[in-house]
Each structure stands twice: as structure tokens, then as C-alpha cells.
Structure 1
Amino acid sequence: MKELIKEIIALEWAFFDKVQNEGGRADCQDDFRTFEIMRGSQYEAWDEATLESWRDDLEAAKAEGRNPLAEKYGYMMIIDAPEENRALAAMLPPVSEEKKNLAREITKRLAPQNAAFAARYPLLAAHARPLSGAGGECTSIETYQTGELWTYSERTLRLLAARVSELEARGESYAELVIENGLKRRGFAGLAHAEEILRTRRAGD
């Protein structure tokens, strides 16, 4: 699966490089290492079928001349402020009710996982996006996840929902798994290790 994840990240990076921002090119668009950590930590929590389906979605978007990463940020804007972004909404690919329902099902199931993570690791959570809400300085987890999920095909959404169910059946949290993958990519032993380091730093301040 490592090669498949590399293939997906390469496709996404090419799209990300072409995202147009109102204030000009963002610094993160020249930071491949952070991009690779963030995207890879998510995809390491997926199974092969979901990865293959999302790879196919990206290839289809490329063939159609679409940029799903630009679409994600557009969707996030209309979710946060629909009235102010009516013109933008008209330019984006329409999202079917089925896709919205599937995305809503996934975010509804991830919400308590995100809340449980915040309660268990409050110092780590303090460095993360807020759980929900709109219009703040930082896009919430709920808005970010929804915007991204709307770029997936219905097939990918169903496969991801099944993956979340599979992890839940094993007593594992998809949300915590993604965050832990990212921490391990940065050199931490895991969630508890990173939380303890933050606690020690706070005590020393």
C-alpha cells in the first residue's frame, strides 16, 4: 500500500500546487514535507480498496480538467458562509444528495471520536482545529472533513464508511489513528508520548 499512497500524494500535490488563493500563493504550497505527512497519515488509516477508489477519483478529475483540492477549499467556503459564496457555489461541481448523505453519515460518526480524542489528549487537541462551528479564524474539523468528503465519489465514500465501521468493530478510533500516524511520522512514539512532552513543556514554562 505504500506505493499506492505515494501515487495518491503525488497526484494531490500536483493539484495542490495549482490551487489559486485570494491572497496569492500560500507558503504551504511550497512545503511538500508537511503535505506528505498530513496526507500520508490519513491514507495509512485507509484500506487498499478505499485508496484505489480515491486514486481513481483523482485520475478521473485529472482527465476532466478538474482540481479536486481547489474544489475542497471552495466547498469549505460555501459550507462556512453559503450566502456570501453563492457565486462560488455555482462554479463548483454540484454535490448530489446521496453524496451529502454519505458525507454526513461519516462526519456524524467521526464527531464523537474527535470529541473523545480532545478529552483524552487535551494538550494535543489544543493544537488542532476546533471540533465544529463556522466563521472562525480556523476552519473546524467538521467543515474541513465535509468539504473534503464532497470531493470523493459515492463509491469512495461508501468504502470509507465501511473502513470506519471496520475500525470501530475492532475498538479503534479512525480519528485517533490518523493523528497518531502523523505524530509517528514526526518522530513521536504515539499519542501518549506527544501529550506527555507537551505536558512537560507546559510545566517548565
Structure 2
Amino acid sequence: MVTRMDLLAEVVEWELGMFQRVHNRGGRADCQERPEAFRLMREITHAVLSDAFVESYAQDLRRGEAEGRNFMTEKYAVMEGQITPFNPDPRISDIARTESAWRDAVASDFPHVVAPDGGDAFRRYLFAELQTYSSATIAAYADCVAAARREDRNLAMERYELLMRKLDFGSLAQREAAIREAGNAGARG
């Protein structure tokens, strides 16, 4: 039986394979040389979403690969304005807007860990990524966002908390305090 963690790992490996095949205008990007960092960031991105999302997205990736598509190439092409957005699903803008607001809230509370000025880039990145999802996967993601709203949860906060634990920084609050203290010590020194 395939576990959620197995499926999540499969999704991340499909994404990594696509990412490694992206051809950048200036050659390979630095981030393409750090697959472990890519794996970690993609794992935390999907880990806070439902089983239904992970299962649907895994199907998208398998289907995309069979069709010769590279979702990462498509995402970056949309981000860079090389191709126009091609998925008209209205839920895409709502998801990107909500996730961006959550990210902005985290950045406001933890500005030493999460760059306060990164919200626009994050929204553009997520909007472009959502372009590659099937209707079923977008529906599953929209359900995750709706459930989080009902439960007064912040999915961006959950991702950053997971990231801090995986990097052995404890919690987001602990990491923020450590960075702030290191800055204060440097200013006093």
C-alpha cells in the first residue's frame, strides 16, 4: 500500500525531474544544482495540503509526463511573460490571493525569517504554478484553502513551521528570536 509520504515523495521526484530539464536562457540556474533544497521546499509546499490534492496532483504529473509536458518549464514561462496564462479557472486567482495574504501575515509577524517584500513574487510564482494544474487538482487545492479559512488556519504559517522543524530551528518564533538576537548582538559588538 502506498502511504501519503510515499506519494508525496513521488510527487516531489516528478517535479524535480521536470525542474532539472528546464532550459534557462542563461544556462542552468543555481537552484538546479541544489536538488535537496528543491526537495525540501516542494515537500513542505505540498505537505500541508490534503490527500485528495496530493493524489490528484500526482495524476497530473503522470499524465503531463506521458503527454511530453514539463510543468516547471510552463510555470517559469508564464512567470517570465514568455507565454500568457492558459488556465482560465477562476479559483486560481482566489487561491493565489489567499495564499499570498497568508504569506504576508507570516512576514509581518516574522520579518527576520520571511522577507516582507516577497509577497508579489510569491503571488506571481503560485499563480503561474496553478496554471499547470488540472481542474480536479485546482478543486482539491481550493477545498484545502476553504477548509483552512473555516478553521482559521494559515497554510503559509504551517509550511514555515514545518520548514523550521525540518531545518532544526525549532519553531518560527524561535528562529525569529534567534535572528533578532544575533542582529542585536552584532549591533552592540
| TM-score w.r.t. length of structure 1 | 0.84
Q: Say if 2:42 is the partner of 1:42.
A: no
Cα distance change of structure 1 residues 111 and 10 upon mapping to structure 2, 3 Å threshold: closer
* Cα offsets for 1:42-86 (capped at 9, x unmatched): 1110111100000011001100001001111011111xxxxxxxx
Q: Select between 48-57 and 112-121 the one with higher mean Cα deviation.
A: 112-121
Is there any run of 5+ residues in structure 1 with no aligned partner, and where? 79-87, 133-139
Trace 1:160-171 onto structure 2 (pairs within 5 A).
160-171=141-152
Task: Answer yes or no: is the 8 Å Cα contact 1:113–1:175 preserved in 2.
Answer: yes
Partner residue in 2 for 1:76:
79
Cα distance in 2, alignment partners of residues 103 and 67 from structure 1:
19
| Deviation of the 1:29 alpha carbon | 1.2
- How far did 1:179 drift? 1.7
1:90-142 Cα deviation digits (max 9, x unpaired): 7xxx6232x2x11101112223212211211111122x76112xxxxxxx111
Q: State the partner residue of 1:95.
A: 86
Q: Distance in 1 between matches of 2:136 and 2:83?
A: 23
Tell me the amino acid that sits aligned with residue 125 of structure 1.
Answer: V
Aligned 1:176-191 pairs, distance under 5 A: 176-191=157-172
Aligned residues: 183
Which structure 2 residues correspond to residues 1-205 of structure 1 after superposition, within 5 A? Answer: 1-78=4-81, 88-89=82-83, 95-97=86-88, 99=89, 101-126=90-115, 130-132=118-120, 140-205=121-186
d(CA) in 2 for partners of 1:129, 1:20: 28
- For the 8 Å contact 1:42–1:181, the answer to whether it is kept is no
Q: Percent identity?
A: 28
Equivalents in 1 of 2:166, 2:117: separation in Å? 19
Q: Which runs of 5+ in 2 are unaligned?
A: none
Judge conservation of contact 2:87–2:132 (CA < 8 Å) in 1.
no
| Residues 60 and 133, structure 2, Cα contact 8 Å, conserved in 1 | yes
Change (3 A) 1:111 1:196: same
Q: Is the 8 A contact 1:41 1:178 kept in 2?
A: yes
AA partner of residue 5 (structure 2):
K
Q: How much has 1:27 moved relative to structure 2?
A: 2.2
**Equivalents in 2 of 1:141, 1:28: separation in Å?**
16
Asked if the contact 1:75/1:89 (under 8 Å) is kept, the reply is yes
Structure 2 Cα separation of the partners of residues 104 and 193 of structure 1: 33
